[in-house]
Copies of this chain bind each other. A is one copy, B any other.
């Protein structure tokens, strides 16, 4: 299961441009749109009149209008009007704390009283003209934790992504895992290696000689409920690795927002933020395309891993040092699950 009292990425901002978006988050059917004040809003995707999904309607002057019979819904979940009739006795529908940050719509699917927008993490790349960001969204038929495992253990790159970012040196270099509060950090530093194809491309774009020996790093940071930021890059060998001067390195952050749809399906918001050539939109598009291809390679593996685990529910998995990142992340999740009194809008309808 998933922590409900937590902030999740629900959508990219462009997805609610001018029209409502229906999406299930943590098992809740939600509709997202901008209200009268332009604020991102999350309501239950259920018209209290006849049960139609509000996401099939439209947004009119910041109010959601049901596409079936024209009920006008307020951003507090209380019906405002319906043509020619009173909505006085209409029950409110659920609403969830929702906010726009970093180019995404964030939602808190749990107890609204506990939501604190300060808890949404800050990112150096967000709104920073020195950085460029590009990314996409995949739907994966697996438990969100399998995706966290995947991203907190990059040895899989050697096997799953052999043609792009994988290389034997990943396997050969031990990783170190530590915890800082609820953050789990796994890092690996490869020294004096040949850059793999993806990084040779990036070096070339960044004006570096791709044939040079490099130091390569991967610093994965999990933070709850399910965000994984990975500092990645290569620097000319011997110049300090990830701490090398900008002139002799090519660096980026892999951005992974992992949002449970149901117990066995996940919305995967992936992207890359980079500090080199931030104004080159064509390069952003090219990187996004390459990253999209790479991350699609994980999908079959994760979905069939999910299927295997469902087929053999009693089997215990092995936890090796390479799995420590995922293991620690799951412990954080388990603590969050234990701490929360699971209250969704279902069970405790919002009252005004």
Report A's interface with B, CB cutoff 8 A: 29, 45-46, 48-53, 56-57, 65-70, 82-85, 89-90, 149, 153, 155-156, 158-160, 171-172, 174, 300-301, 304-305, 307-309, 311-312, 315, 317-318, 320-323
**Interchain CB contact under 8 A, B83 and A155:** yes
Residue in B67, B318, B320 whose beta carbon sits within 8 Å of that of A160 in the complex: B67
Nearest-neighbor residue (CB-CB) of A57 within chain B: B159
Assembled-state Cα–Cα distance A186/B172 (Å)? 64
Q: A83-B172, A305-B52 are in contact. Are A312 and B67 (CB under 8 A)?
A: no
Most buried by B among A68, A82, A171, A322: A68
Nearest-neighbor residue (CB-CB) of A297 within chain B: B67
**Interchain CB contact under 8 A, A50 and B159:** no
In addition to A56-B304, A65-B159, 11 A-B residue pairs with Cβ atoms within 8 Å of each other are A49-B318, A49-B320, A51-B308, A52-B304, A52-B308, A53-B304, A69-B153, A69-B155, A84-B172, A84-B321, A90-B318
**Interchain CB contact under 8 A, A320 and B153:** no
**Shortest beta-carbon contacts, A-B, top 9:** A83-B171, A51-B308, A85-B320, A53-B304, A52-B305, A51-B309, A49-B318, A67-B159, A50-B317
**Interchain CB contact under 8 A, B49 and A300:** no
Nearest-neighbor residue (CB-CB) of A153 within chain B: B69
Assembled-state Cα–Cα distance A304/B82 (Å)? 20
Residue in B48, B82, B300, B317 whose beta carbon sits within 8 Å of that of A51 in the complex: B317
Specify which chain B residues have a CB less than 8 angstroms from the CB of A172 in the assembled complex. Answer: 83-84
Residue in B52, B65, B69, B171 whose beta carbon sits within 8 Å of that of A322 in the complex: B69
Q: A50-B323, A159-B68 are in contact. Are A45 and B84 (CB under 8 A)?
A: no
Specify which chain B residues have a CB less than 8 angstroms from the CB of A309 in the assembled complex. Answer: 51
**Interchain CB contact under 8 A, A317 and B45:** no
Specify which chain B residues have a CB less than 8 angstroms from the CB of A315 in the assembled complex. Answer: 46, 51
Q: A84-B171, A84-B322, A90-B318 are in contact. Are A305 and B50 (CB under 8 A)?
A: yes
- What are 15 A-B pairs at a CB distance below 8 A? A49-B318, A50-B317, A50-B323, A51-B315, A51-B317, A52-B301, A53-B307, A53-B308, A56-B300, A66-B159, A68-B301, A69-B155, A70-B159, A84-B174, A85-B320
**Interchain CB contact under 8 A, A308 and B155:** no
Specify which chain B residues have a CB less than 8 angstroms from the CB of A52 in the assembled complex. Answer: 301, 304-305, 308
Assembled-state Cα–Cα distance A321/B155 (Å)? 63
**Interchain CB contact under 8 A, B156 and A320:** no
Most buried by B among A51, A56, A84: A51
